[in-house]
Structure 1
């Protein structure tokens, strides 16, 4: 087992599942099996906290001697959740970081789930050593996004909620993986919706690279080749584990000295 200075715990709270693991901060690999429990129906704070406790108990890391990072599907400003995508509206304006710290009896680092996935890919994955603008998207219950410019995270981008001209639903409502399942789309039909979304992002931001994460990225060969973009688009290296890995990396950086070359990234991510 790695020493304290080499590992941390990451917990990723999603719209349908809560998962966690112990992470090797040198490599970004998981040191334990990934533990996953369902996100409670309604996703109220007390119920989500109870589910996180179950994950930590199964990982046998309930003590406070190991840094802990928690990723959450909302805009996060200084520990407060400012939105509520696919969770209870109770989270809007909620002091989430303080709530979890009190409930768990330990300090934590709390951040947006797509942002921490971006950190994982920046440090250990597809965005490592890429110059310019990288846009990571997580395709799952919703669409999360992370903006990475020359190795620096610009937090809380929320580009899944870009509105479509003269349409009632935003892009997340029609192009998330949950929309594919809900509408029983083929890969080709879903790719047509993704084409509109990524082409719009491409027009607005002129990125140097798209990275696609979320659980569906393991099937990237079924839909990414169907997209016609000028920007390279690749699957995330860490796929559905990116949230766990990034949360762990940021928790260690906040709990102790920053990880190498992470000072600016951590400062931006925690503002």
Structure 2
């Protein structure tokens, strides 16, 4: 099977995709982005995914990986973040496979981004316990042990019990919290210190990788953190979801399955 696949990244505001060269770990053509339909119902999003795929000339048997902002268990959405709540309980694999005519592999968005970083980015060659975090509207997490993904960790939703009315750590420490509470990077780093110290205590990881759009400003806050664990910025940034989804779809296709099991 050729080392190629197609990746699609579904987000609350945009759906973007491109074919991926899995030897190089990079897009093999320019990506296409289509605004996420509003309301972002299953039928409307499925139509948009089909529209995006139809814009490319790809073989029918090319593996297609799709990220989705939800807990994904055996292809089924068990939550819905930044998309219509009608997705909860939807078999996303089956819906997109039927609508597009391609075998589709669906994965949690943070897990896809983490997989890309482990295969081609900051985690390449690391064999221990690695936690990838994406700092954005929320905090996405992906955990890898010996290179194997532990899916749907959702560690941004660990309960927060400190000062203030914050229900979980992502409400307190995500990049959106920095903007909302008008924090400078030093003040935000104090919140991140608490979060990463908790993860360090719970899991004793060998490496933290920090992604999300704000990671391009990593020099403003990562050096302020005092941790035993090495912490480094992600390398693939906005393309990580597409690349990771394509990579996971390729491996799933080789094993004769189209969703995480």
TM exceeding 0.5: yes
Bigger mean CA deviation after superposition, 103-112 or 174-183:
174-183
1:227-255 alpha-carbon deviations (Å, 9 max, x no partner): 22121111112122111111101111122
> Residue 175 of structure 2 is aligned with which of 177, 185, 189?
177
> Residue 119 of structure 1 is aligned with which of 107, 115, 120?
115
Would the aligned equivalents of 2:18 and 2:30 in 1 still touch at CA under 8 Å? yes
Offset at residue 63 of structure 1 (A)? 5.2
Q: Distance in 2 between matches of 1:56 and 1:253?
A: 20
Does the alignment pair 1:46 with 2:36? no
Q: 1:219 to 1:39 in 2, by over 3 A?
A: farther
Residue number in structure 2 paired with 1:165: 161
Offset at residue 62 of structure 1 (A)? 6.0
Offset at residue 87 of structure 1 (A)? 1.9
Residue number in structure 2 paired with 1:270: 260
Residue number in structure 1 paired with 2:17: 20
Q: Secondary structure at the residue paired with 2:221?
A: helix
When normalised by structure 2's length, the TM-score is 0.91
Residue number in structure 2 paired with 1:65: 61
Which 4+ stretches in 1 moved above 6 angstroms? none
Does the alignment pair 1:35 with 2:25? no
Q: Secondary structure at the residue paired with 2:23?
A: coil
Q: 1:37 to 1:141 in 2, by over 3 A?
A: farther
CA RMSD of aligned residues (A): 2.1
Q: 1:139 to 1:91 in 2, by over 3 A?
A: same
Residue number in structure 2 paired with 1:155: 151
Does the alignment pair 1:55 with 2:52? yes
Unaligned 5+ residue runs, structure 1?
A: 259-265
What is the aligned length? 259
Q: Secondary structure at the residue paired with 2:217?
A: helix
Residue number in structure 1 paired with 2:226: 228
1:161-181 alpha-carbon deviations (Å, 9 max, x no partner): 101126542111222222223
Offset at residue 188 of structure 1 (A)? 2.4
Would the aligned equivalents of 2:61 and 2:103 in 1 still touch at CA under 8 Å? no
Offset at residue 257 of structure 1 (A)? 5.5
Q: Distance in 2 between matches of 1:257 and 1:55?
A: 26
Q: Distance in 2 between matches of 1:95 and 1:62?
A: 24
Residue number in structure 2 paired with 1:263: none
Unaligned 5+ residue runs, structure 2?
A: none
